[in-house]
Amino acid sequence: MTPKLPDQRYLDLAKKWADGKITDEELQEYIQWLKVVDPDAILELPTDKASQKQLLFDKIREQLAAEGADLPESPEPRKAVLMPRILKAAAIVTGIALTGYLAYIITGIDKQPATSSTIVNKTPGATDIQPGSNGAVLTLANGKVIVLDTASNGALDNNVMKQTGSIVFADEKDDGAVQYNTLTTPRARQQQIVLPDGSKIWLNAESSIKFPTRFAGNTRQVEISGEVYFEVAPDKTKPFVVNIGKSSVNVLGTHFNVMAYSSEVFLETTLLEGKVEFRNNDKQVELKPGQQSKLSTAGQIGLSNNVDLDLVMAWKNGFQAFSSADLKTILRQAGRWYDVDVEYDGEIPAGLTFTGEVPREVTLLQLLKALESKQLQFDLDAPNKKLIVRFNKQ
């Protein structure tokens, strides 16, 4: 059975989502609840996408009507393959199975359900891989190494405090030589920190940030790798500079995301608020909100307008999201979040792309079930954290 929220709370949240008035906190309540939905149940859907949507919507209306809630209007036809948020929310609340729900909102080539399971767990025992969680390794300027996963809340060292979900660094008052801390998130970990100047930083899996114990001089300089989101505390007297190899992002006070994994094709800087300047050697480009710079491995800088900010910030907001993404891109992200090595047995068609989003709280097996098809198969060796992918031509 799918667990329920308390009746009145359920009705209130369902109506808020239907009205588009749900808050971020209430959204997180839905996401947390989603984690305990039965992953083995199956939702049978017709092959026609329009019929799929109508069937799902009818189920939602039936459940809401039974609970006495206001009924949303029937969805209008749309080109996007992402299910409207109202349908996703209602699907969760009304008990529609998680596996079918994921398979519906992720679409790709030949996404008809396989007649039997194509995911093989090769080793008995542990048969799934859990999603990542908060945690990191902190190397302090004095050489002390702290594994944050097991550290208790409270003072970790001078000027370092662990709070629920965050690590806060106080400004060091010593006027001596500036020293540097380094925080690293391994695969399957993410972490939020607050720098000595009050700037808030979020690190995705397999990322790092090096920063001083205090910001002396005329600038605030940090060095990163991987993917990091910044909410920089304003200070017109000290510009904030993010260094990524030979590139840098220069700001005064703003919100932006930097994706700089060495395994990805582009180094991407996306601006949400304020204004930043991206530099690489002698090239530079100024970004406005909604724009994204893309640095290629050849050193060319491109600029995209009207970027889907929800897609860029999905990782920070608790989702795995992709739009016309190829399978290898999706599984590189999965490798970082689930700490699994991915191997390919044969060629994967370049045209095999997917669009959709799932909560980061789903297990790897749940994600793979959403991606599988008659042609696309996965062998998961969970104890050894190994995934083999095959595409069978028909």
Whole-number Å distance between alpha carbons of 239 and 281: 19
The CATH fold assigned to 133-312 is: Jelly Rolls (2.60.120)
DSSP per position, 238-278: S-EEEEETTEEEEESS-EEEEEE-TTSS-EEEEEEES-EEE
What is the H or E stretch that residue 366 is in?
Answer: helix 364-371
Pair 52, 45: CB distance under 8 Å = yes
Residues 6+ apart with CB under 8 A from 117: none
Q: Which residues have a Cβ under 8 Å from the Cβ of 9 and sit 6 or more positions away?
A: none
Do domains 122-129+321-394 and 133-312 share one topology? The answer is: no
Contact 284, 264 (CB under 8 A): no
The pLDDT score that the predictor gives to residue 82 is 30
**What number of other Cβ atoms are within 10 A of residue 90's Cβ?**
24
Question: What's the CATH fold of domain 122-129+321-394?
Answer: Phage tail protein beta-alpha-beta fold (3.55.50)
What pLDDT shows up at residue 175?
A: 72
Domain ranges of the chain: 1-105, 122-129+321-394, 133-312
pLDDT tens-place values along the chain, 394 residues long: 444 444 456 456 655 654 556 676 776 665 555 444 433 322 333 334 444 444 444 544 554 455 454 444 444 332 223 333 333 433 333 333 333 334 334 544 444 443 333 455 544 455 889 999 999 999 999 999 999 998 999 999 988 999 988 999 998 777 778 899 999 999 999 999 999 999 999 999 999 999 999 998 899 999 999 999 999 999 989 999 999 999 999 997 899 999 999 999 999 999 999 999 999 998 999 999 999 999 999 999 999 999 999 999 999 999 998 888 999 999 999 999 999 999 999 998 888 888 888 889 889 998 898 887 778 899 999 999 999 999 887 6
Q: What pLDDT shows up at residue 233?
A: 95
Count CB atoms within 10 A of the CB of residue 177: 8
**Contact at 8 Å (CB) between 321 and 357?**
yes
Looking up tokens 């724009």 gives: 291
Sign of the alpha-carbon dihedral angle for 105, 320, 6, 23: negative
Q: What is the dihedral of CA 148, 151, 155, 158, to 10 degrees?
A: -50
End-to-end CA distance of the chain: 38
